[in-house]
Structure 1
Amino acid sequence: MHRAARAGSRVRDAAIGLLVAAAIVGLVEASLRAFGVRTLLSDRDPYEGFSSRMRAYERDDGRDLYRTIPQAVRHSFNYQEFLARKPANGFRFFTIGGSSAYGFPWGADAAFTHVLGAALAGTYRDRKIEAVNAAAMSYGSVRLRILAREILDYAPDALVMFEAHNEFVERRMRRELERGPQLRWIQAVLFRSRLYSAMTRLYERIRPRARPGEKDAEPRSAGELLGVDVIRDTGSTVDDRDRQDALRALEENLRAIAEMARGKGVPLVLCTVPCNLSGWSPDRSVFPDGLRLDARRDVLKRLAEARRLLAAGDAVSAALSLEGARAVAPGYAEVHFVLGKAYEALGRWDDARASYVLARDRDAMPSRVLSTFNDAIRRVGRERGVILVDIERSFAKASPHGLVGFNLIEDYVHPTREGHRRIAFELFNALLDHGLPEKRPAVDFATFDKAWGPRVSPDAKSPALLFNLGVVMENKGLFDAAMENYRACIALDPRHPRAHYNLGRLLHRQGRLAEAEAEQRLAVDLDPGYVMSYVGLGEELRAQGRNEEAVPILERATRVDGASAYAWNGLGAALAALGRYPEAEAAFRKAIDLEPRRPDAKANLGFALLSEGRLADAEAAFRAGMESSPDHPASRNGLAAVLTERGDLDGAERLFRETLLAFPNDAYAGAGLREVARRRGKGRQ
């Protein structure tokens, strides 16, 4: 009896305690709301935590419509409205996709969804046409699968999907899914708590304020240059297994979306997606593991020679040289791209297109759709209830000799205004052919373009367009022109973080360190969640010898994104400069674990080990760097330094001279040769 009474008392006390705690939390939440503290859900990507409890659209009962929620507009979506109750004569379609469907760099009024809506409204004047652009910056099929579930609740008559560029963006999102539904539910609740939100923001602000910097000299992906709101997970090199994983995820998500649409009786319109094949070079090229060092050097030598021959107008010799390189390293993307240029100069159009496709597909830091991805779209597009529209083939047909380039693509994946009109044209005829809203005869493109071309004149001075032009100029190596566009973008939008970041990198290239630092400071302050801004800041401080200031900044970078090899490599370099070699070694090894193919972290590890006198370990690190990139100057110079310390002056001299042949202004190699000469002179005394 007494035990039962005591147990009941404990339960009662616990219940009272919980009620008191809930009351206190409720009071704190109410107070924070009164003071204007926003929830994380109010200003974070609504699908960042990947919960179906977070929606992109909200109902406005006063106006009897749905509209895009403010936080979605701030981060990824166009602002759109549609009626809460679709009228009896209504026809409503939604488009889901990434930035290409979004209308970047202009916005929704230039996108194919808007053009298609105008064409349908003009054709079916007795119908209420609603064309809703639900595409979002950097969204791939993982997020779109969740978004589609919401969209299908709004009684669409058709759902258009135009996306396959961002499948490598969403590796982090796929990891989020693996955390399990319980953790995602908890995150959804916490994102709505003002107390949790205030504490999270406070933590994010507790960081050392130093002055900004610049990126390292590694190639950047087009996505990283654009730096859209959803952080792109594209910094790492991808291999064939990554490509297969992404392909499986894409096809699984496409089938899931198709099944959801069938369940609602909604036709799904799947589009293949085009990209810039002939005008955009690969972001990263890699050699296969196991290819000999001399073979790699031969490929790079042939590549350099082919570029020289092409510039001189000798495309025949350039093609012969590159065909030899292709035989040695068939997976090296840049060889295929330059070979495409040679074939194009020779009028071998089919060979040129095949080479450009291989260059795109073998890119080790892919920002463009792969051939296998479009093939997956075609497979799913043949299933029941799905309408396939082959935009990739349409763009090829509309391009000279089938080579899609800047004629229809603004940069690497975003269609030009004419490109958007062509997509709308293909969708228009596909819908009419399937009786959506009603069956009508097809029209040709000239008729369609004349009647339904966009009524919005291009805004040549919009920040997004100027920024995009800067990215294009940078990809072409026109750095001064790129800087002009970034500055013009900032003049119109001083709070554009990626424009400041990209401008800072280019200022650093010119040695204008103080100006670069100022730009990078702004980039960090404007977007505290973008890891590369911290890396740039830390690198700029290091370039000025301010390593004590750089270390906490780069430590912060590793907390913002613990999977960033750039952050760990930069931290290791700052620690090594301060003589903190064991900590530097750990940071470099972390960077290498994250990106095993990158030579710079291996070379940096080698120099840290060399500074500790660990010659054998240093030699292994430098040789690993040369295995990743046979002409990597830091790795070769480091190996030469090891040979110098061992007394192999002839071997050291040979390596230093090899560096100077490829990089005549390499200061380290020049200093190394002088040290070799000094030691020889000392030995003869």
Structure 2
Amino acid sequence: MNGSFPGRVLLSFAIGLFGVIAALQLIPFVRSSELPSVAALPSVEDALAGLERPKPAGEFRVFTIGASLSQGFPYSPAYAASYGKLMGDGLAGFVQAPRVVTRAIARPALDSPKLVELVRRSLAWEPDLLIVTLGSNEYANRLFSSKQLLPRSLLAQVDERLGRARILWRELPGHGRRWPAPGPGDASAEKALAEKLVARALKAEPGKAQLGALPFDRDERELLLGRLRRSMQEIDALARAAKVPLVYCQAVYGLGAFWPWGHESGGQDAEIDRLALRFHLGEGEEVALEDLELEGEGRADLAFMRGLVLRRLGRREEALDEFRRARDLDPVPIHRTGPIDQVVQEEAKRLGRPLFDLNEPFCRLARDGIPGDEHFLDYGHLSASGHRIAAGYLARELAERKLLPLAADFDRAAFDRAVRASIAASISADELRYAWPRIAAANGNYGLLFGNFRDALPYLLRCFQELPMDQSNAQRLLFCLVHVAGRTGEFAQDDAEQATARSLRLYQELLQARKEQRLQDWVRSYLQAAPGKR
């Protein structure tokens, strides 16, 4: 046997391997295209039920396409509170030629590639105007899927490059789709994900996220901003090909009232936590600006607290700067950010499409021009009154630009009366009453998932206080509270029987505090009795 045999084989193998890797790099590849989706598309057929095909003469169809905001989440039935649906209800009493029909097509957690698919499907129903609201979920799939777009280690990079052969397989007939396309209205996958996330929330620890997607670095955010640009371009191309006018909208963001989803440790952690809890427990008015002169530059929570104090002091511009810093420093960006806003604005301008910012009417209504919690359920979801305001704003803007076929001037008072009547007729008193605490329950779970127990606490407290009695809400509240107080050691030193008895006493105290409507005082006293805080 030739003595050089092993060397030649290994050399040939190495050359072949690098040759394959080099060849695979020639395959066009967009990393974000393989990001798994956490939400199924809604059924376009269900959303547009009752509309005829082909479209009858004398009908002007307006479709509002988006995510949870556009659906009117969390109100039920779906779309009952949607600003798109309410806009049509408000216009119903106007003299129209032709008759204006508005429909919303939306579902929570949809990002811009999903909106491309919704636009594509909706065009079969011959819309006369498309309104696409985006900007709020561009990072959500990346966060909740826990899939990193950029390989970190050398081994992961080699694996990713070799794996590009899958792109060829995906392009074979019958083996791939450009965008994920679950069956119409099939929500089983997202339900399973929600259950998985809730289960993870109860395994979390303060400062330790239960999602492998964190941290979420700048390079990956840039990749997804590029995807947003491409999606806007695709939507524009679809609308132009169908000769349908297109309007883009930016989703709302309650800049001055809702805390960042996450915060990174650094600086004077204990003091920052103590001050944040004072805000959460209704003592924020006593916090001075000097109290916030702490080490911790780059912390979203510290910037947000400065914004709250500056706003209270009437220093609007400084407060606005701090709120924006907090938004953009948030390590868990499941919302509008400055870079997302910039991309949407630049792309809409470049494409020559009108762009409406749904935050605008709320800025006008706020005493200092900073949207707060009035008319908002949380950072990116509106109350029923908020949807009424957004519907009026959008209708006025469209009417002024002659994008709606109104035969008379826009009557604000008549529109508002019609929308109020629609809300009263289609949304029950319980839906209106429980919308906020339902959102709070979801946001509290998210806080636990992200390892941000401190800022999850007020959400969990409010949902337990205001929703009908639910043991699972009590369980999450106590789980969070014990960790925030730093009192887990009390249970660890007990034997099983003692730990059970301690837990039962705590649960009974919680129920009694709820019954006597003194929950916040009870939580405060429990925190103050923690080791080192007495």
Report the TM range for the smaller structure's normalisation: 0.5 to 0.7
* Structure 1 CA distance for aligned equivalents of residues 307 and 72 of structure 2: 29
- Which residue matches 2:485? none
Question: What secondary structure does 1:410 align onto?
Answer: strand
Q: CA deviation at 1:134?
A: 0.6
Q: 1:371 aligns with which of 338, 344, 351?
A: 338
Partner in structure 2 of residue 322 of structure 1: 292
Judge conservation of contact 1:93–1:157 (CA < 8 Å) in 2: yes
Corresponding residue for residue 236 of structure 1: 214
Residue 101 (structure 1) aligned to one of 70, 75, 82:
70
- Structure 1 residue 662: Cα displacement: 13
| Residues 1:349 and 2:301 are matched in the alignment | no
The partner residue of 2:104 within 116, 133, 151 is 133
**Deviation, structure 1 residue 384:** 4.8
Change in Cα spacing, 1:544 to 1:431, as seen in structure 2 (3 Å) is farther
Deviation readout 1:485-513 (Å, 9 max, x if unpaired): 4545x6xxxxxxxxx865542354478xx
The 1:323–1:212 alpha-carbon spacing in structure 2 relative to 1, beyond 3 Å, is: closer
How far is 1:245 from its partner?
A: 2.3
TM-fit CA distance, 1:311: 3.8
Alpha carbons of structure 1 residues 312 and 438: separation in structure 2 relative to 1, 3 Å: closer
Aligned to 2:397: 430
Give the aligned residue type for 2:91.
Answer: L
Residue type matched to 1:279 in 2? A
> Which of the two has higher C-alpha Rg?
1
Aligned-partner Cα distance in 1 for 2:347–2:257: 29
Match of 2:261 in 1: 283
Quick check: 127-136 or 233-242, which moved more?
A: 233-242
Task: Supply the distance in 1 between the matched residues of 2:109 and 2:324 (Cα, whole angstroms).
Answer: 22
Deviates more, 1:99-108 or 1:239-248: 239-248
Q: CA RMSD in A?
A: 4.5
Equivalents in 1 of 2:128, 2:70: separation in Å? 19
Secondary structure, counterpart of 1:374 in structure 2: helix
Q: Name the residue aligned to 1:254.
A: 232
**Cα distance in structure 1, aligned partners of 2:262 and 2:473:** 19
Q: Is the 8 A contact 1:275 1:413 kept in 2?
A: yes
* 1:444-455 map, 5 Å: 445-446=412-413, 448-455=415-422
In 2, Cα distance between the equivalents of 1:311 and 1:401? 22
Q: Is contact 1:95–1:133 with CA below 8 Å preserved after alignment?
A: yes
Q: CA deviation at 1:338?
A: 0.7
Quick one: distance in 1 between partners of 2:337 and 2:108? 19
2:385 counterpart letter in structure 1: E
Correspondences of 1:72-83 after superposition (within 5 Å):
80-83=49-52
1:403 aligned partner = 370
Aligned equivalent of 1:89: 58
CA distance in 2, matches of 1:280, 1:94: 30
SS at match of 1:400: coil
Deviations 1:520-574 (A, max 9, x none): xxxxxxxxxxxxxxxxxxxx9xx998xxxxxxxxxxxxxxxxxxxxxxxxxxxxx
Pick aligned residue for 1:111 from 51, 73, 82: 82
Q: In structure 1, what is the Cα distance between the partners aligned to 2:285 and 2:364?
A: 28
Distance, in Å, in 1 between the alignment partners of 2:311 and 2:206 is 29
1:118 counterpart letter in structure 2: D
How has the CA–CA distance of structure 1 residues 79 and 215 changed in structure 2, closer, same or farther, with 3 Å as cutoff? farther
Tell me the CA shift for residue 439 of structure 1.
6.0
Q: Is the 8 A contact 1:165 1:369 kept in 2?
A: yes
One-letter amino acid of the counterpart of residue 458, structure 2: G
Pairwise mapping of residues 588-599 of structure 1 onto structure 2 (< 5 A)?
none
Q: CA deviation at 1:363?
A: 0.7
Q: Does 1:477 align with 2:458?
A: yes
Determine if contact 2:71/2:79 at 8 Å carries over to the other structure.
yes
> Which residue pairs with 2:205 in the alignment?
217
TM-score (norm 2): 0.65
Q: After the TM superposition, which residues 540-619 of structure 1 pair with which residues of structure 2 at under 5 Å, given as runs?
A: none
Q: Tell whether the 8 Å contact from 1:93 to 1:131 is kept in structure 2 after alignment.
A: yes
Give the C-alpha shift of residue 478 in structure 1: 5.8
Contiguous gaps of at least 5 residues in structure 1: 1-46, 59-66, 69-77, 205-210, 225-232, 288-295, 491-499, 512-539, 546-660, 667-685
1:189-244: per-residue Cα shift (whole Å, max 9, x none)? x9999xxx9xx99xx9xxxxxx99923133699xx9xxxxxxxx895232322332
| Shift in Å, 1:82 | 2.2
Q: Distance in 2 between matches of 1:360 and 1:468?
A: 20
- d(CA) in 2 for partners of 1:465, 1:249: 32
CA–CA separation in structure 2 for the residues paired with 1:212 and 1:96: 31
Q: Partner letter of residue 356 of structure 1?
A: F
Match of 2:141? 170
Query: Does the 8 Å contact 1:432/1:440 carry over to 2?
Result: no
State the distance in 2 between where 1:357 and 1:214 align.
Answer: 31
| 1:127-172 deviations in Å (ceiling 9; x for gaps) | 3332121111110112111221111232111111112111111235
The amino acid that maps onto 1:483 is: F
Contact in 1 for aligned 2:457/2:477 (Cα 8 Å): no
1:472: Cα distance to partner?
A: 6.4
Q: Quickly say closer, same or farther: Cα 1:182–1:468, change in 2 above 3 A.
A: same
Determine helix, strand or coil for the equivalent of 1:456: helix
1:151 maps onto 2:122 in alignment: yes
Q: Distance in 2 between matches of 1:393 and 1:433?
A: 16
Paired letter, 1:154: W
CA contact (8 A) 1:112 1:423 kept: yes
2:439 corresponds to 1:461: no
Instruction: Say whether the 8 Å CA contact 2:66–2:107 is kept in structure 1.
Output: yes
Return the match for 2:531 from 664, 673, 678: 664
> What amino acid is aligned across from residue 290 of structure 2 in structure 1?
L
Give the share of equivalent positions with the same residue, in percent.
23
2:394 and 2:212 mapped to 1: Cα distance? 31
Paired with 1:213 and 1:359, the residues of 2 have a C-alpha distance of 24
Task: Give me the whole-angstrom Cα distance separating, in 2, the residues matched to 1:314 and 1:501.
Answer: 34
For 1:623, the equivalent position in structure 2 comes to none
**CA–CA distance in structure 2, aligned partners of residues 87 and 357 of structure 1:** 47
How many angstroms apart in 1 are the aligned matches of 2:181 and 2:82?
A: 32
Deviation by residue 1:282-309 (Cα, 9 ceiling, x = unmatched): 111125xxxxxxxx34465466468769
2:133 & 2:429 partners in 1: Cα distance? 25
| CA deviations over 1:361-416 (Å, ceiling 9, x no partner) | 11101222112212222222224552211222332122121121211211221011
> CA 1:184–1:470 in structure 2 vs 1: closer, same or farther (change >3 Å)?
farther
What is the aligned partner in structure 2 of residue 269 from structure 1? 247
Amino acid at match of 2:292: L
Aligned in 2, Cα 1:154/1:184: closer, same or farther, shift over 3 Å? farther
Amino acid at match of 1:82: L
Q: Give secondary structure in 1 for the equivalent of 2:74.
A: coil
Q: Deviations over 1:225-273 (max 9, x none)?
A: xxxxxxxx89523232233222222122112211221121111111122
Indicate the SS of the match to 1:377: helix
Deviation at 1:441, TM superposition (A): 6.9
Q: Which residue of 2 aligns with 1:654?
A: none
What is the one-letter code of the residue matched to 1:244? Answer: E
Q: 2: distance between equivalents of 1:364 and 1:184?
A: 40
CA contact (8 A) 1:108 1:133 kept: yes
Aligned to 2:452: none
The whole-number CA distance in structure 2 between the counterparts of 1:508 and 1:260 is 49
